[in-house]
Amino acid sequence: MRENRMNRYAQIKKPGIQVKLGIVIALAAVIYLSSVVVLFWNLTGSVQRRTNESYQSLTDVYVSQLRLEFEEVEKYVNTLSVDFDLNMLALEDPLTDEYQIRLYQIRQKIFSYYFNYRILTGFYLYDARTGMITYVPDDKGHYADFVREYVVREDATNGWYQFSPEGETGIALARTYRVSESLCLFAFVNLSGIAEEFGTIAKESGLLWDIEDSDGRAYYGTWGIMDHSMRREPFDVIAQTLEYSTIDLTFQLFVGSDVIWKQNKIYIGYFSLSLLVFSVFVIGVIWYMRRRMLKPLQQLLDGMERFAGGDEQVRLCGVAQAEPEMQYALASFNHMVEEIRENKFLIYETKLEKQKLLIQNMQSQINPHFFSNTTNLIYNLLEIGKTDTAEKCLLLLSSYYRYMTTIGDESTALKQEMEFVSSYLDIMKLRFPNKLSCEITTEDALKELQIPPLLIQPLAENCIKHGFTDRRHEFWIGIRIYEQDGAAVIDVCDNGRGFPEKYRGFFDQKTPVPVRETEDGGDNHVGMQNIYQRLIMHYGERASMLIDSTGQFTTVRLRIAAWRRAGESGTESE
């Protein structure tokens, strides 16, 4: 059997790890240099095409979103026009209390739905019998002149109108509906807010822009309304028209030749720098791997070969330049040989079980979906030119996986875990801009508390995965770590969907967390039961967990009694 092991080892070792490493590095260099040559070859034409396609896609998406919002406003006005209270209001006597009560109810209905439509700037209800205008919200009669002008028009019809508000530049849109001879309903959209949003998009890309009507008149922007002598000749015009009912507005981005040239310079500079960095990196990796890893690894392989050949007295000397991990590997090899001589079979079974647990632990830690989504985010940021944000995201991802691959098996400092959690949440905020907010507070005295690694991060990940379901509203996560009555308390809160009733409650060593199942019947790979078991195994009876949902907030509370003793020992000492 030992001879068979020697033959298998010789077959594995024949190509040599140095040769394999050289082939991998050479192959990577060839692929990289080939890619650089191809990219430089097609740079001039491809940059222009990609830039125009990117801005066209950006404009199309923006205008399509506006069109959907106008359609939603249209649907809401149509729904409101057949409301029972509104139609009954037209029949009530304005001098009665019933009229006032029904008017109040209608206003409350409008107010409760008004903030669901971000493009709306006002809802007006006009009653010709009293000449009174009801505002939602109360904007002091900003569009009152248009309302009074509309109600006396003989040719007034239900639909969208475009007009210039009194005392303002630009235009506004009004969706009108005549409920009865005396009662009219109005929904107003001020284009200044939309123009400001579109202008911000153009400004971030360094572009000129404008918004024109069907006659080619520009009401907003930095291009159409500026003096002709100050205009730059555009390289290309990116336009998309919003046509809905009687609305006909064209949103335009002007991509100047200076923008294209700037992007060319960025690419040229990037590839030139990347060539230099890649060359230095390859040389550094070869030198580093050979001096600090390959040499001690070769010594380790030689020792393994001798041991497999029957030399159970083999002893390996440490290499001074080797990495601590390699020195530890050499020392561990010597210790392993010594232990095998004392009890071969016991050490073999123990080591096999330890390796199995380690592999399972690493497999449970790494989330391929998170890595894939984050790399796609970095790619998209680079596609639209947000290199600073992409760089920040890449650094956060690097910090995230550095922690994942360096944490110990038993415990880690709380401050290191929180730095890891902060990196994860910062990446999530980049993935969902303006949709996710986080608050993290940690008392200084608790930062050195030793906790099981990956104890808090799965809670934050659980908030995102199961609580952040409604992407239309801002999602909030709060993590508060503080001392209370001599115990360390970790609160993770969110305003998401919450836990089902049967998973809420207080859990300690005597009351375990129930197994939570997914829709297909399988256990969650990261669940509250896993966190509970690790907490109880680490701290014993000093630990407890509370899962609670009250009102609009859900809280998971981890409590560690006598935390100072726990922090000093790192594990349960009883």
Give the model's confidence band at 72: pLDDT under 50 very low, under 70 low, under 90 confident, else very high.
very high
| pLDDT at site 488 | 92
CB 514 within 8 A of CB 503: yes
Q: Can you tell me whether residue 159 is helix, strand or coil?
A: strand
| pLDDT at site 481 | 93
Give the model's confidence band at 265: pLDDT under 50 very low, under 70 low, under 90 confident, else very high.
low
Give CA–CA dist 296/304, Å, rounded.
12
| Average of per-residue pLDDT values in the chain | 78
| pLDDT at site 312 | 67
CB 236 within 8 A of CB 226: no
What residues does 480 pair with on adjacent strands? 441, 491
CB 512 within 8 A of CB 543: no
Let me know how long the chain is: 574
CB 565 within 8 A of CB 573: yes
Q: Which helix (H) or strand (E) holds 247?
A: strand 247-256
Give the model's confidence band at 235: pLDDT under 50 very low, under 70 low, under 90 confident, else very high.
low
Give CA–CA dist 147/408, Å, rounded.
70
Asked if pLDDT for residue 230 goes beyond 80, the answer is no
| pLDDT at site 351 | 43
Query: What are the DSSP calls for 536-553, one per residue?
Result: HHHHGGGEEEEEEEETTE
Give CA–CA dist 172/186, Å, rounded.
12
Residue 352's Cβ-count burial label (10 Å; 0-12, 13-18, 19+) is: exposed
Query: What are the DSSP calls for 123-154, one per residue?
Result: EEEEETTTTEEEEES--SSTTHHHHHHHHT-T
Give CA–CA dist 63/68, Å, rounded.
9
- State pLDDT tens for residues 342-364: 665 554 455 435 434 543 554 45
| pLDDT at site 526 | 46
Give CA–CA dist 429/436, Å, rounded.
6
| pLDDT at site 522 | 44
Q: Which of 124-128, 152-156, 197-201 has the lowest mean pLDDT?
A: 152-156
Which backbone phi and psi does 15 adopt, to 5 degrees? -65, -30
| pLDDT at site 491 | 93
Average pLDDT over every residue of 516-521: 52
| pLDDT at site 192 | 85
Which backbone phi and psi does 432 adopt, to 5 degrees? -125, 70
Give CA–CA dist 112/121, Å, rounded.
14
Give the model's confidence band at 367: pLDDT under 50 very low, under 70 low, under 90 confident, else very high.
low
Helix spans in 289-343 (H): 295-308, 324-342
CB 337 within 8 A of CB 57: no
- State pLDDT tens for residues 252-263: 888 876 666 666
The tally of CA atoms less than 13 A away on the side-chain side of residue 212 is 17
Bond into 453 cis (ω within 30)? no
520 against 259, higher pLDDT: 259
Give the model's confidence band at 40: pLDDT under 50 very low, under 70 low, under 90 confident, else very high.
low
Give CA–CA dist 456/446, Å, rounded.
14
Query: What are the DSSP calls for 394-430, one per residue?
Result: HHHHHHHHHHHHH--SS-EEHHHHHHHHHHHHHHHHH
545 against 225, higher pLDDT: 545
Q: Which of 58-67, 97-106, 249-258, 353-362 has the lowest mean pLDDT?
A: 353-362
Q: Which of 45-54, 64-73, 418-427 has the lowest mean pLDDT?
A: 45-54
| pLDDT at site 524 | 47
Q: Can you tell me whether residue 457 is helix, strand or coil?
A: helix
Give the model's confidence band at 187: pLDDT under 50 very low, under 70 low, under 90 confident, else very high.
very high
Asked if pLDDT for residue 289 goes beyond 60, the answer is yes
Task: Mention every residue, 6+ apart, whose C-beta is less than 8 A from residue 241.
Answer: 63, 248, 249, 250, 251
Give the whole-number percent of the chain exceeding pLDDT 70: 78
65 against 171, higher pLDDT: 65
Average pLDDT over every residue of 128-156: 83
CB 263 within 8 A of CB 3: no
| pLDDT at site 64 | 93
Asked if pLDDT for residue 10 goes beyond 70, the answer is no
Match 């809280």 to its residue by tokens.
555
Neighbours of 92 (CB within 10 A): 18
Long-range interactions of 138-147: CB distance < 8 A, separation 24+: 142/188, 143/172, 143/174, 143/186, 143/188, 146/172, 146/174, 146/186, 147/184, 147/186
| pLDDT at site 81 | 86
Q: Is the dihedral of CA 71, 66, 243, 143 positive or negative?
A: positive
CA angle 170, 174, 180 (to 5 degrees): 155
- Using DSSP bridges, classify how beta strands 122-127 and 132-136 pair: parallel, antiparallel or unpaired: antiparallel
Give CA–CA dist 194/170, Å, rounded.
11
Residue type, 251: F
Q: Which of 114-128, 145-159, 254-268, 382-396 has the lowest mean pLDDT?
A: 254-268
What residues does 548 pair with on adjacent strands? 555
- Using DSSP bridges, classify how beta strands 436-442 and 475-484 pair: parallel, antiparallel or unpaired: parallel
Give CA–CA dist 122/226, Å, rounded.
30
| pLDDT at site 534 | 77
| pLDDT at site 482 | 93
Give the whole-number percent of the chain exceeding pLDDT 90: 10
Average pLDDT over every residue of 233-255: 82
